[in-house]
């Protein structure tokens, strides 16, 4: 396979104005008649028409109703001698085999229903087409299928006609009023039922909202519907973007490669992001559903109305839409503290997943320059870092300025396929006096340069002058294909805190405009400084409040300074961050001091006391406390080290958790009791936070009990597991028993399985908990191998495969990185097994060893062997081949 390069972009040689598709749906052999009207693109030199196809059986090609000559070039269908002037009609008749489509790209069967997934390049598995996002067409779709077996027939747009046919078959015709690229095409056919809601928008237009699920799942659709309604209202209120469809449908399927897909008017979702009930879904599930429903809905404007010119521009729609869904979730929060909690959670995802990606073999710019398989580039960099880039733009132009920029973006580009440059230009042009407008070319380095910038800060207090100077130096490490980087525009939100904890009023030297206790310093040079006047004593700098830029901040804080920030900064993000820094510092010290993590000094008294103060704090909310009291993850910790011994990292973190459990035992007990009675279940941020804190407390109490041999808390956990009236409390109690390896874990797991044996999504949790279980004696890998023999295991179902294999290889470092290399052997077996079924899922798993070069011996050598074992297989998919060769490069 060869690389596709952004620099090689050329406009299409033909436009496809209309597409009329006729499907005769049959799992074994579906017939597809594709009737298109095309014309040459006058801006491009005359050339042959090359249509993309993949695993299709071609039966017939007609041009203007007559047979014509064509040839195949690899998988492309090539037509020469097409009419030179005006429009012509091209008819292509193909068949495909949905029942055998285990890649879940194109048209496939799940649970005896038909679904499609076309983004990025799945439409070519349905028919021959110009499968690229800058070709936008009007679609009309005729679906025909057996009526009893497939009573519901759906596609994009409006249902214009339906009726019965001979032999028990029926049909439905759908016409999409909006032009779209083919990656947004969808069809669904099967036995489904819908929750429906009619709404009237502000502009008086009526819409029908529908959530389609299997008949037994109707009772789990209320939350998704409410989330959809909130999304419609929010986009209109915040950005003036109204729903442009009479009918908006969401359909759930249990076989899906990712979370969901924003097909125009017919979003297809993984059941995981639709179905929820108090009994089966956790608070986190409820929150995820709200944000994914929002995300897909927001794509209707950012992605569908304005789409990407080419796949290198993917972050144009993904970064922007993640930013929008993050803002949506924050705006739904009842208070500023809940907003901050959401921000901290988003930053945690960025730093534990995207920072390692940016430092590893798959590092790529937010707008990549080349790829072999585009599906490998649906990454945390495109999504989460892309969202941070959009967030920095909002920071630089202000919230109202950003909304103005969005309006201009739609005025200029609605209905077209554009680039990241077009977006940034619109935001800047709408705010001509902003820092963004002045710095736009430099700001756009965020799109072109990969790697996480490091921001080094130093503070100098001059007692005689009563000034304090902060000096910043930025740098960015080399990434594959690029050694040196130009300075970024870094918006640094900062303030100063006095030793007593009071925020200082900022007087900036040579700057009379700024007032108040926080300042946005926009850094553009490699080194820059800012001086504050009237500073009575050495202050504590609060830098990067709200995580105003996606950088790694180095500042040589003393423990006392961090304790001050933790207790007093006005910015909740920075308070949390100060606590994380203290824990990190102590962990790194322990890892350096003690080979097994056990003889380490551990957490100091001041830290323990500070954690107690947060836990017992009278006004901080529970969700925030839970975040502060959770130690940095093993993955994040490992990123801070040059050479990683995963077992040492694991042992160190476990020892720290045990110490926190032990020394705060009374406080945990108080926290558990004080946050346990919740009244009736509502998954709102406030009560979710209380349950999260109670859950953490219970896990700590069980951990302390394991050390002391006490049986009271495991008993209480079992009781709560049995009696809980919601999945959050029930699952937290089960997890507390399983992770501490208590003997009650076994009967609890058995009981959980029998209670929920008919609930796929709950069984996923059951599998994931065991595969992600804290390892004490190397017992997890054999357990994982046993789980894969369980009657409910199915490698073909991505959710189930992820629940076992990914939970072990990607989310359980202490169990996966075994000195005997057995974890890596397992990984290589599973990558190969999955690759034969579903390359996209396999390539995700392949990335579990991305950071192998950082590992200490013997892990490093055995990881390399495992990678080579996979690389040695001749018939690898492009997806896996690309990931593995980059890892080994």
Q: How many CA atoms lie within 13 A of 511 on its CB side?
A: 14
219: part of which helix (H) or strand (E)?
A: none
- Other CB atoms within 10 Å distance of the CB of residue 592: 12
Quote the least distance from Cβ 261 to ligand B3K, whole Å: 5
- Other CB atoms within 10 Å distance of the CB of residue 714: 23
Torsion of CA 786, 788, 789, 791, to 10 degrees: 120
Identify whether the C-beta of residue 849 lies closer than 8 Å to the C-beta of residue 824. Answer: yes
Quote the least distance from Cβ 299 to Zn ion, whole Å: 6
Residue of minimal CB distance from ligand B3K? 119
**Could you say which of 121, 262, 290, 296 is catalytic?**
296
Q: Stretches 150-158, 256-264, 420-428, 678-686: which one binds ligand B3K (CB under 6 A)?
A: 256-264
Biggest alpha carbon distance in the chain? 95
- Which residue number, 220 or 324, has a Cβ lying nearer to Zn ion? 324
Alpha helices per DSSP H over 276-335: 283-299, 314-331
Each residue 201-240 as x (binds ligand B3K by CB under 6 A) or -, in order, gives ----------------------------------------
- Which residue number, 248 or 756, has a Cβ lying nearer to ligand B3K? 248
Q: Stretches 75-83, 321-329, 467-475, 673-681: which one binds Zn ion (CB under 5 A)?
A: 321-329
- Which residue number, 13 or 258, has a Cβ lying nearer to ligand B3K? 258
Q: Stretches 29-37, 293-301, 332-340, 453-461: which one binds ligand B3K (CB under 6 A)?
A: 293-301
Identify whether the C-beta of residue 275 lies closer than 8 Å to the C-beta of residue 292. Answer: no
Token pair of 198, please?
Answer: 């009619």
Q: What are phi and psi of 591, to 5 degrees?
A: -65, -40
Q: How far is CA 407 from CA 122, 300, 402, 418, 851, in A?
A: 32, 15, 9, 15, 42
Q: Which does 393 bind (CB under 5 to 8 A by kind): Zn ion, ligand B3K, none?
A: none
Quote the least distance from Cβ 854 to ligand B3K, whole Å: 28
Q: Stretches 295-303, 564-572, 593-601, 667-675: which one binds ligand B3K (CB under 6 A)?
A: 295-303
Rounded Cα–Cα distance for residues 209 and 194 (Å): 9
Q: What are phi and psi of 758, to 5 degrees?
A: -100, 10
Q: Which does 119 bind (CB under 5 to 8 A by kind): ligand B3K, Zn ion, none?
A: ligand B3K
Does the protein bind ligand B3K through residue 318 (CB under 6 A)?
yes
Rounded Cα–Cα distance for residues 3 and 371 (Å): 5
Q: Which does 261 bind (CB under 5 to 8 A by kind): ligand B3K, Zn ion, none?
A: ligand B3K
- Other CB atoms within 10 Å distance of the CB of residue 653: 22
Using only C-alpha atoms, the chain has a radius of gyration, in whole angstroms, of 28
Binding residue for ligand B3K, selected from 235, 262, 346, 373, defined by CB under 6 A: 262
Q: Which residues contact 877 (CB under 8 A, 6 or more apart)?
A: 373, 835, 839, 842, 843
Quote the least distance from Cβ 185 to ligand B3K, whole Å: 13
- Other CB atoms within 10 Å distance of the CB of residue 457: 20
Q: Stretches 320-328, 636-644, 676-684, 792-800: which one binds Zn ion (CB under 5 A)?
A: 320-328
Binding residue for ligand B3K, selected from 40, 125, 132, 295, defined by CB under 6 A: 295
Size of the site for Zn ion (CB under 5 A): 2
Token pair of 542, please?
Answer: 């609060």
Binding residue for ligand B3K, selected from 38, 63, 82, 120, defined by CB under 6 A: 120
From the list 542, 541, 540, 533, the residue with the least C-alpha distance to 512 is: 533
- Within positions 370 to 409, which residues make up the interface with ligand B3K, using CB under 6 A? 375, 378
Rounded Cα–Cα distance for residues 593 and 600 (Å): 6
Does the protein bind ligand B3K through residue 119 (CB under 6 A)?
yes
> What's 369-388 look like in SS3?
CEECCHHHHCCHHHHHHHHH
- Which residue number, 257 or 732, has a Cβ lying nearer to ligand B3K? 257
| Beta strand extents in 421-567 (DSSP E only) | 454-462, 467-475, 490-497, 519-523, 527-532, 540-543, 552-555
From the list 547, 543, 544, the residue with the least C-alpha distance to 348 is: 547
- Which residue number, 296 or 621, has a Cβ lying nearer to ligand B3K? 296
Q: Which does 375 bind (CB under 5 to 8 A by kind): ligand B3K, Zn ion, none?
A: ligand B3K
Binding residue for ligand B3K, selected from 228, 261, 788, 863, defined by CB under 6 A: 261
Quote the least distance from Cβ 794 to Zn ion, whole Å: 27
Token pair of 125, please?
Answer: 């598995």
Binding residue for ligand B3K, selected from 258, 289, 341, 611, defined by CB under 6 A: 258
Give the single-character DSSP code of 804: I
Known catalytic membership, residue 296? yes
Q: Stretches 137-145, 314-322, 326-334, 371-379: which one binds Zn ion (CB under 5 A)?
A: 314-322
Q: Which does 241 bind (CB under 5 to 8 A by kind): Zn ion, ligand B3K, none?
A: none
Does the protein bind ligand B3K through residue 268 (CB under 6 A)?
no
Catalytic residue numbers read 296
**Interface with ligand B3K by CB under 6 A: which residues?**
119-120, 258, 260-262, 295-296, 299, 318, 375, 378
**Interface with Zn ion by CB under 5 A: which residues?**
318, 321
């Amino acid at each position: 396979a060869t690389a596709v390069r952004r620099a090689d972009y050329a406009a299409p040689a033909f436009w496809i104005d209309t597409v009329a598709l006729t499907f005769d749906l049959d799992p074994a052999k579906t017939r597809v008649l594709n009737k298109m009207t095309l014309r040459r693109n006058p801006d491009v030199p005359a050339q042959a028409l090359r249509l993309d196809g993949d695993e299709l059986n071609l039966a017939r090609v007609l041009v203007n109703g007559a047979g014509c000559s064509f040839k195949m070039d690899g998988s492309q269908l090539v037509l020469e001698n097409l009419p030179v002037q005006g429009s012509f009609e091209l008819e292509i008749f193909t068949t495909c085999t949905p029942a055998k489509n285990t890649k879940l790209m194109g048209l496939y069967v799940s649970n005896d229903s038909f679904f499609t997934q076309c983004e990025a390049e799945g439409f070519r598995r349905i028919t021959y087409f110009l499968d690229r996002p800058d070709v936008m067409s009007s679609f009309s779709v005729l679906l025909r299928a057996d009526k009893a077996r497939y009573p519901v027939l759906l596609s994009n747009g409006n249902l214009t006609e339906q009726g019965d046919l001979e032999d028990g078959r029926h049909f439905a015709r759908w016409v999409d009023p909006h032009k779209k690229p083919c990656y947004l095409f969808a069809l669904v056919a099967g036995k489904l039922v819908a929750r429906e809601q009619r709404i009237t928008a502000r502009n008086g237009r009526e819409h029908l909202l529908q959530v389609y699920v299997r008949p037994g799942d109707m009772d789990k659709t209320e939350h998704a519907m409410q989330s959809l309604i909130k999304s419609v209202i929010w986009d209109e209120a915040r950005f003036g973007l109204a729903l442009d469809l009479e009918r908006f449908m969401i359909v759930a399927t249990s076989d899906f490669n990712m979370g969901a897909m924003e097909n125009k008017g017919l979003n297809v979702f993984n059941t995981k992001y639709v179905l929820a009930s108090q009994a089966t879904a956790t608070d986190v599930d409820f929150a995820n559903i709200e944000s994914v429903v929002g995300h897909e809905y927001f794509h209707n404007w950012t992605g569908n109305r304005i789409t990407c010119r080419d796949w290198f521009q993917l972050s144009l729609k993904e970064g922007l839409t993640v930013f929008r869904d993050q803002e949506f979730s924050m705006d739904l929060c009842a208070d500023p503290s809940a907003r901050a909690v959401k921000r901290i959670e988003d930053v945690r995802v960025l730093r534990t997943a995207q920072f390692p990606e940016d430092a590893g073999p798959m590092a790529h710019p937010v707008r990549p320059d080349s790829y072999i398989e585009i599906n490998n580039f649906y990454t945390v960099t495109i999504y989460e870092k892309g969202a941070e880039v959009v967030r920095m733009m909002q920071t630089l132009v202000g919230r109202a300025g950003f909304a103005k920029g969005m309006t201009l973006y739609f005025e200029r580009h609605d209905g077209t396929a554009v680039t990241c440059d077009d977006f940034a230009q619109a935001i800047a042009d709408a705010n001509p006096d902003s820092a963004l407008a002045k710095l736009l070319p430099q700001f756009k380095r965020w799109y072109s340069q990969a790697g996480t910038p490091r921001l080094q800060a130093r503070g100098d207090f001059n007692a005689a002058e009563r000034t304090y100077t902060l000096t910043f130096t930025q740098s960015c490490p080399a990434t594959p294909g690029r050694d040196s980087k130009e300075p970024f525009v870094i918006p640094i939100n900062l303030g100063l805190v006095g030793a007593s904890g009071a925020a200082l009023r900022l007087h900036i030297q040579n700057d009379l405009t700024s007032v108040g206790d926080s300042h946005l310093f926009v850094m553009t040079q490699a080194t820059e400084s800012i001086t504050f006047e009237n500073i009575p004593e050495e202050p504590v700098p609060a830098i990067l409040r709200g995580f105003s830029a996606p950088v790694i901040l180095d500042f040589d804080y003393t423990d006392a300074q961090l304790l001050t920030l933790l207790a007093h900064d006005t910015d909740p993000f920075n308070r949390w961050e100060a606590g994380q820094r203290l824990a990190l510092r102590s962990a790194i010290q322990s890892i350096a001091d003690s080979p097994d993590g056990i003889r380490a000094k551990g957490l100091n008294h001041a830290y323990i006391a500070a954690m107690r103060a947060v836990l017992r704090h009278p006004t901080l909310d529970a969700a925030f406390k839970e975040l502060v009291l959770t130690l940095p993850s093993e993955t994040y910790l490992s990123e801070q080290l040059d050479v990683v011994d995963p077992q040492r990292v694991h042992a160190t973190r476990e020892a720290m958790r045990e110490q926190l459990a032990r020394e705060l035992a009374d406080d945990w007990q108080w926290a558990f009791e004080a946050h346990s009675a919740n009244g009736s279940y509502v998954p709102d941020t406030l009560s979710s936070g209380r349950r999260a804190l109670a859950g953490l407390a219970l896990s700590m109490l069980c951990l302390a009990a394991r050390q002391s041999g006490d049986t009271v808390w495991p008993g209480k956990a079992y009781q709560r597991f049995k009696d809980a009236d919601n999945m959050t409390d029930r699952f937290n109690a089960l997890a507390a028993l399983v992770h501490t390896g208590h003997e009650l874990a076994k009967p609890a797991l058995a009981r959980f399985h029998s209670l929920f044996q008919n609930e796929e999504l709950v069984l996923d949790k059951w599998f994931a908990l065991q595969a992600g279980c804290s390892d004490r004696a190397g017992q997890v890998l054999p357990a994982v191998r046993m789980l894969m023999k369980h009657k409910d295991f199915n490698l073909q179902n991505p959710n189930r495969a992820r629940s076992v294999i990914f939970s072990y290889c990607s989310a359980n470092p202490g169990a996966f990185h075994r000195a005997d290399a057995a974890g890596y052997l397992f990984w290589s077996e599973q990558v190969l097994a999955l690759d034969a079924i579903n390359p996209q899922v396999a390539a995700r798993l392949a990335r579990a060893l991305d950071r192998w070069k950082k590992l200490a011996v013997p892990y490093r050598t055995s990881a390399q062997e495992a990678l080579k074992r996979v690389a040695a297989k001749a018939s690898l998919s492009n997806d896996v081949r690309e990931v593995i060769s980059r890892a080994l490069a």
